[in-house]
Structure formats: structure tokens, C-alpha cells
A and B are shown apart, each in its own frame.
Chain A
Amino acid sequence: MDLLAPQAVLSGIAAGSVYGLVGVGFSVSFRTTGVINIATGDLVAMGAYLTFWGLSVGLPLPVAIVVAALIVGLGMGIVERLALRPLYRFGTVYAIMSTIGLSVALQSLIQLVWGPVALVIPRLVPGEAFTILGFRLSLAQIFNLVLALVLILGMVLLLERTKIGRGMQTVARDRELASLLGIRPSQLFFLAFALAGVLAAVAGALIGPDQGLTPTMGLPLGIAGFTAAVIGGLGSPLGALAGGMVLAVAQNLAVLYLTPDYKAALAYGLLVLVLLVRPQGLFGEAGALARRV
């Protein structure tokens, strides 16, 4: 029996969980503030590079990842304060352009500090594949999947069960109503971007060992995250996780049956297709948000 296709699906599910992480961070900050963070992918890259830096100053790997995530999260929050917040009153287009500037700045910062040559960071758990029921799997894949699930479920709990999360959801739906209810959007904006930074950085540390660290690694991962979030409907974190998996499985199947040249292009194609045909996403109910003029 031909197991190539099921194998591609299985590996895709594992890889997609990381895209999902990026997508969740992106969609939380987008829903709360209305700003599309173009620098999302560069936050992923920053997370991977700061993990590398943490290791090089002698931190153990798990600590290095946590430190990297905290730095990226705090940094993104500070950027929101300094470079995005003054622009909200002119309309979100200005803030989005500011994140484009951030993207360029982060990418060239990485290039200046660490150089253009690809760097390597180790895995948290062994990456050797073993065979189970005819499928090839590695502990690293399972670990990535589990960690992504745990973090995303944590986000779900945060959004659904805590006062802060409910505040974010209210701000996402109606900012004026939120202010009337005594919610202060400004604190939530900071937090939303900080959370996006943390999730992106963790995703970077997880995906770094698979593809190596390069200054330009961010953009394709960022677009994968956007695609995951858009497929998921930009509503629930679980939607983004599922969206990431759909994307990664589609990519693996395309490499298997079509051509490897256009693996990245598939994400672009899916992104445009979903936005044109089904802006509310495959799973989402946030159609109103997408179609809003």
C-alpha cells in the first residue's frame, strides 16, 4: 500500500501546528487592535535568533527559549506603545505601514548582528525518526504538536475564562462599548501585541532546527501564519491551529505530487483564494469582521 500520501498528511499536521502558533498570535493582535502586523514573521525570526543568543551565553535550551519569548513579547509591546499607538487615530493603514517599517528594521538588525550565514539551534527533544504502524514520526514532531496545542489551549482559556481575555473580545467587537464598560483598550493593545510576540518567538524556536536560521526566514513564516489565521477565520485560536494544519498538509501534498519549487507559493495562493472566495475562513464565524469595509 502506498503510504506516501498519509505520511505527508501526518508530517503536515505536525508542521502545521507551528504555523498555527504564529497564526494565533497574529489573529489575537489583529482582532483586538485591527492592525495587521506585517512584522509577525520577523518576530518568529527574532525568537529563533534570540534563542541562539541565549544558548551562546550559556543558558540551557528551555531557559533560552523562555527568555527569547519574553524579550520578543516585551519588545513588541514596547513597539506598540511607541510606534503604533500614536497612529491609531489616523486609521489603521498608518499603523500597518509602521509594522512594515518594523519588519524591515528587524530583518536588517538580524543581518547586522548575526550575519547572512545560516545558523543552527538544537532541538528540545531528539529529532530522529522512528517507525510506528508504518509511519515515520519523530519525538520532535510530537513534542511540537503537543506544545503548540498546550499554548493554544492556554490562549483559549485566557480569552474565554479570564477578565482580560473577555475584555479583549469585547474590544474586538466594539471598542466604544468596551470603553463604556470601563475596559481600558490601551492596556489590552499592549498585551495583545506582547502575546503575539511571545507566541511567534516560541514558534521560531520550534521551527528553527528544521530549516536553519537566516535573516530572511521571517516573511514566508509570517505569510504562513497569516494564511493559517485567515483559513481559520481569524476567530478562534483553534481555528488558526486547524488552518495551519490545512496549509502544511496541502504544502506537503503539493511537494509530493506537483513541484517543490512552489511550496511557498501554495501559501500565497491559498491566502488569496480564501480571502476572495470565503473571507470568513473555512471554520470561522467572524465573517462580519472580514467583510467589514
Chain B
Amino acid sequence: MVATAMQSVRTVLRRPYAHLAGLAITVLVVQQFVESSSSLFLVQLMALYALAALGLNIILGMAGLLSVAQAAVMALGGYTAGLLMIKAQLPFVVALLVAGAASAVLSAFVGLAALRISSHYFILVTLAVAEALSLLLINEEDLTGGYNGIGGIPPLVIGGLDLSSPLALAVVAIVTLFIGWYVADALAASRSGHGIHAGGADPQLAMASGINVARLRFGASVTGGVYAGVAGALYAETLLYLGPGDFSLGKALLILLIVVIGGMGSNAGTVAAAVILVYLSEGLLRLTTVGPLVYGLGIMVILVIAPNGLDGVARRLRRAFGRILERRVAR
């Protein structure tokens, strides 16, 4: 375990530049060109959903486990952080750590299922856990405020630094996203990452190659859950109010759709899809009554015509472009 973790760290240290450059460019662009607080809010949402979707990409894209509990894990992270800050007046960083830990525990419980049963059943477990958690949020009114949710979450302050302005919040979300992206890329390139991928692609073959598929699935489920927990805690700071509707099954489907459209297993595709889909779902789909219908049919149509999402389209374009170049060179 430690050896593989060390290996992951070494892979990370090899090439951190692309992520740093991406981070710098994104922050610069947002700082220069995004001014209104509503647009900055949209940027915050994009970054947070991208973070949660990167987590699901580890669970679904790499390990091949279909989960609809990612929004519920996000809810647990958000409510845990929010309540700790309101009721125990804990600083954000402590609340964030506890929220991450709580999400890890819930994902570990869900991941236990992945140890025991066929990966196909995994979705039933996640569906049950997600619905049970949303019932808890609604029924335990003394703690969660029921349908009214919890309000009055203190604005974001880290180490005495006031980060509650829309721009600062957006930057914090973007920085967190890039850290998460960096770790996800490192994981994908590591030995464990290859193992997770192999277990997702062909479990029998992976097991025959001596890979402990069950353990890696469990690990993927926990890791992906921590992403959602962190995203949830930051989400609490973005809205300063949380209700059960923020984490409905619809939100779980949005995160799922981000991964599907991004192209399962592709981190860059996932982030790109998050930007596009959050933009669409906050604008187009929210305004029209046919939104959800388009959304549901959209999932089916996209799966049928482009099952590998943006990543697949990009690859096809690259291949086509490469062929044109080759012909030029040959001439």
C-alpha cells in the first residue's frame, strides 16, 4: 500500500507543470474577464461540480462502478462542514477535514458493497444510500432543518484571511479543482491507477493478473467520495445556505452526465464537460419546463451516438487531423 502510494507521489512530482500552468491561466482569465458576481458564482459552481465529477470519474470511469450517490456524499460533506461551523464554531479548515473524513466513511460503507457483490448491483446500493440520506436530511429536522435546510453558515475565512468575496471564492474553488485534477491524473498514471482501470475494464483478466480488484474498487470508492466531500464543504461556503434540494437525485445525475459526456476515464474531458453542463443546466435547462425531458433524452442520445463523450470526439478529431498531416508529409 505504502509502496504504491510512494510510486504515485513520484509520478506526480515528475510533471506538475501542466497543471500549474493551467491553474495560472484559468485564474488569470477569471480575474480579467469575469466581473459580475453572478458569473463568478457560475464559475464557482463549475469548479465544484468538476471536482465532484472528477471523484465520480475515479469510481465510474476508472473502476467501472456506477454510482448515483455522489451528490449524497457531497451533501454529507456540505452539511457536516456547515453544521460544524454553525453549531461548534469550528474554523473552516477543521470543518473541511472532518467533512472529508465523514465522506470517506460513507463512501467506504458504499465501497464495502463493491467488495461483496457484482459491480452491476453497485448502483442499487448507491441508489438506496442516496435516497436514505435524503430522507434523513428531510426528517431529522432538529439537526438539518428539514426542508428548510440550514442557513447562516459563516463566510469563508482561512487562517484569518477573509476569502468570502465572489472572486476569492472562485479562486479557492479553482485552486482546489486543480489540486484534485493533479491528484486524479497522478492516480491514473500510477500502478494502482492502472490496476483500478484494469479491474474496471476486465475484472476476470485483472484478477488473473494478480490484481486485487476488490481492494482497488474499495479504494477508488473512498477516494472518489473524498472529492465529493471536499466539493460539498466548499459548496456550503459558496451558498452559505444548504437545503436537501441542493443534493437531490437530479444533482447526482448532473454529476453522472458530466462524467459520461466528458468521456469515462478522461479527467480533462470531465472538467470540460463540467464547464459546459453547469453552464447549460443553470441557464437553458432551468428556464424551460421541458428542461428535464431534454436532459433525460439527452443522456440516452449522447450515449448512443457518442458513448466515449468529448474524449472520444477529441480522439477521433486528432486521428483525422493526424491522417491529413501524414498525407501532406507524404506529398
A83/B303 in contact, CB under 8 A: yes
| Residues of chain A from 85 to 118 with CB closer than 8 A to chain B in the complex | 86-87, 90-94, 96-98, 100-109, 111-112
Interface string of A56-97 (1 = CB under 8 A from B): 000000000000000000000000001100110011111011
New A-B contacts (10) at CB < 8 Å, excluding given A87-B304, A275-B121: A82-B304, A94-B307, A97-B303, A98-B299, A107-B296, A265-B135, A265-B136, A268-B129, A272-B129, A293-B203
Residue B127 is within 8 A (CB to CB) of chain A in the complex: yes
Nearest-neighbour CB distance to chain B for A201, whole angstroms, equals: 19
B292/A275 in contact, CB under 8 A: no
B289 / chain A contacts, CB cutoff of 8 Å = 112
**Cα distance, A261 to B137, chains bound together (Å):** 12
A91 touching B64 in the complex, CB below 8 Å, given contacts A97-B303, A108-B296: yes
A276 touching B112 in the complex, CB below 8 Å, given contacts A108-B296, A268-B129: yes
Residue B281 is within 8 A (CB to CB) of chain A in the complex: no
Taking a contact as CB atoms closer than 8 A, the residue among A98, A103, A291 that contacts B303 in the complex is A98
Nearest-neighbour CB distance to chain A for B312, whole angstroms, equals: 11
B123 / chain A contacts, CB cutoff of 8 Å = 36, 38, 96
Nearest-neighbour CB distance to chain A for B321, whole angstroms, equals: 25
Closest B residue by C-beta to A34: B120
Lowest 3 CB-CB distances: which A-B pairs, in order? A101-B299, A105-B296, A104-B296
Interface string of B154-181 (1 = CB under 8 A from A): 0000000000000000000000000000
Closest A residue by C-beta to B112: A276
A265 touching B124 in the complex, CB below 8 Å, given contacts A276-B112, A276-B113: no
B291 / chain A contacts, CB cutoff of 8 Å = 108
**Cα distance, A279 to B66, chains bound together (Å):** 18
**Cα distance, A82 to B303, chains bound together (Å):** 11
**Cα distance, A226 to B127, chains bound together (Å):** 11
Residue B139 is within 8 A (CB to CB) of chain A in the complex: yes
Residue A212 is within 8 A (CB to CB) of chain B in the complex: no
A103/B296 in contact, CB under 8 A: yes
**Cα distance, A109 to B290, chains bound together (Å):** 8
Taking a contact as CB atoms closer than 8 A, the residue among B124, B139, B249, B304 that contacts A275 in the complex is B124
A38/B117 in contact, CB under 8 A: no
Q: Contact size class for A?
A: 35 or more
Closest B residue by C-beta to A263: B135
Nearest-neighbour CB distance to chain B for A251, whole angstroms, equals: 14
Taking a contact as CB atoms closer than 8 A, the residue among B127, B128, B299 that contacts A97 in the complex is B299
| Residues of chain B from 95 to 115 with CB closer than 8 A to chain A in the complex | 112-113
Residue B298 is within 8 A (CB to CB) of chain A in the complex: yes
A293/B304 in contact, CB under 8 A: no
Residue B119 is within 8 A (CB to CB) of chain A in the complex: yes
**Cα distance, A96 to B132, chains bound together (Å):** 21
Closest A residue by C-beta to B135: A265
**Cα distance, A103 to B256, chains bound together (Å):** 14
Closest A residue by C-beta to B66: A93
A267 / chain B contacts, CB cutoff of 8 Å = 128
Query: Which residues of A line the B interface, CB within 8 A?
Result: 34, 36, 38, 82-83, 86-87, 90-94, 96-98, 100-109, 111-112, 219-220, 223, 226, 230, 261-262, 264-265, 267-269, 271-272, 275-276, 279, 289-293
B296 / chain A contacts, CB cutoff of 8 Å = 101-108
A87/B299 in contact, CB under 8 A: no
B132/A268 in contact, CB under 8 A: yes
| Residues of chain B from 252 to 294 with CB closer than 8 A to chain A in the complex | 253, 256, 260, 289-293
**Cα distance, A98 to B305, chains bound together (Å):** 12
Closest B residue by C-beta to A280: B117
A272 / chain B contacts, CB cutoff of 8 Å = 113, 125, 128-129
**Cα distance, A269 to B124, chains bound together (Å):** 11
Taking a contact as CB atoms closer than 8 A, the residue among B131, B260, B293, B300 that contacts A268 in the complex is B131
A102 touching B132 in the complex, CB below 8 Å, given contacts A91-B64, A291-B118: no
Nearest-neighbour CB distance to chain B for A259, whole angstroms, equals: 8
A276/B116 in contact, CB under 8 A: yes
A-B contact pairs, 24 of them (CB 8 A): A87-B307, A96-B123, A97-B256, A98-B303, A101-B296, A104-B250, A104-B293, A104-B296, A106-B296, A108-B291, A108-B292, A219-B249, A220-B131, A223-B128, A268-B128, A271-B128, A272-B129, A275-B113, A279-B116, A279-B118, A279-B121, A290-B117, A291-B117, A293-B207
B303 / chain A contacts, CB cutoff of 8 Å = 83, 87, 94, 97-98, 101
Taking a contact as CB atoms closer than 8 A, the residue among B66, B132, B203, B307 that contacts A269 in the complex is B132
**Cα distance, A90 to B61, chains bound together (Å):** 13
A87 / chain B contacts, CB cutoff of 8 Å = 303-304, 307
A100/B113 in contact, CB under 8 A: no
Closest B residue by C-beta to A101: B299
**Cα distance, A276 to B249, chains bound together (Å):** 23
A93 / chain B contacts, CB cutoff of 8 Å = 60, 64, 66, 119
A290 / chain B contacts, CB cutoff of 8 Å = 117-118, 121
Closest B residue by C-beta to A277: B116
**Cα distance, A106 to B291, chains bound together (Å):** 13
Closest A residue by C-beta to B110: A272
